[in-house]
Amino acid sequence: MTTAVKSSTRERLLEAAATLTYRDGVGIGVEALCKAAGVSKRSLYQLFESKDELLAASLGECASAFAAGLLPVADDGRSPRERILHVFEQLEGQASAPEFQGCRYLAAQMGLKDQSHPASQVAHRVKENLTAFFRAEAEQGEASHPDLLARQLILVFDGASARAGIGADKLTGLVTPTVTTLLDAAGMH
């Protein structure tokens, strides 16, 4: 098998895992993953030790797009307060799309329920990176308690994305005022 074919097969498996787990959850079977990718089980197991490893790799592959879709570019001239609000404005925009089903990383952790699972560990790191972004901006903006504010912001982010993902609420006009209240209470600049 050539490297290009292996790479193509790997990419198809990663894409199938990303699509199916986002739509149907992490309990998706190996048969369905292989069928969606158009590959055999043998091919899957030649490239990945297990379905768990495939799920972890797929979540890892999506991480940079997740961050790029939410976070402002570094040194963009906006205040820390504006940079935090940018994340929630992005979330509001994403949540208005009909295919939005919430944060794939939160969904993976909830679906797996096992913090030691390789995919859960990837999801945890991605969410920790978002929390670290909030913490760094809170420190820059001289928030009274940056760690607490970062934890509050990730709580709002996860709750908002989960509620929007299940169709329980619309985020527009709800999330930004909530975050603004938190930022005001923390004395954010």
Domains of the chain: 52-185 (1.10.357.10)
The mean pLDDT value of the chain amounts to 93
Per-residue confidence at 3, pLDDT binned at 50, 70, 90?
low
pLDDT value at residue 7: 57
Whether the Cβ atoms of residue 26 and residue 86 lie closer than 8 Å to each other: no
Per-residue confidence at 1, pLDDT binned at 50, 70, 90?
very low
pLDDT value at residue 105: 95
Buried b (16+ CB within 10 A) or exposed e, 40-64: eeebbeebbeebbebbbbbbbbbbe
pLDDT value at residue 189: 80
- pLDDT above 90 coverage of the chain, percent: 92
pLDDT per position as a tens digit, 81-104:
999 999 999 999 999 999 999 999
Q: What is the mean pLDDT of residues 41-67?
A: 94
pLDDT per position as a tens digit, 134-176:
999 999 999 999 999 999 999 999 999 999 999 999 999 999 9
pLDDT value at residue 5: 54
Residue ranges of the alpha helices (H) in 48-167?
A: 51-70, 80-95, 104-112, 118-140, 146-165
Give 144-152's long-range contacts (Cβ < 8 A, gap of 24+): 144/186, 144/187, 145/186, 146/186, 148/186, 149/182, 149/183, 149/186, 149/188, 152/182
Whether the Cβ atoms of residue 176 and residue 89 lie closer than 8 Å to each other: yes
Q: What is the mean pLDDT of residues 26-54?
A: 94
Whether the Cβ atoms of residue 55 and residue 32 lie closer than 8 Å to each other: no
Tell me, what DSSP letter sits at residue 26? T
Cβ atoms < 10 Å from Cβ of 76? 10
pLDDT value at residue 20: 94
pLDDT value at residue 75: 87
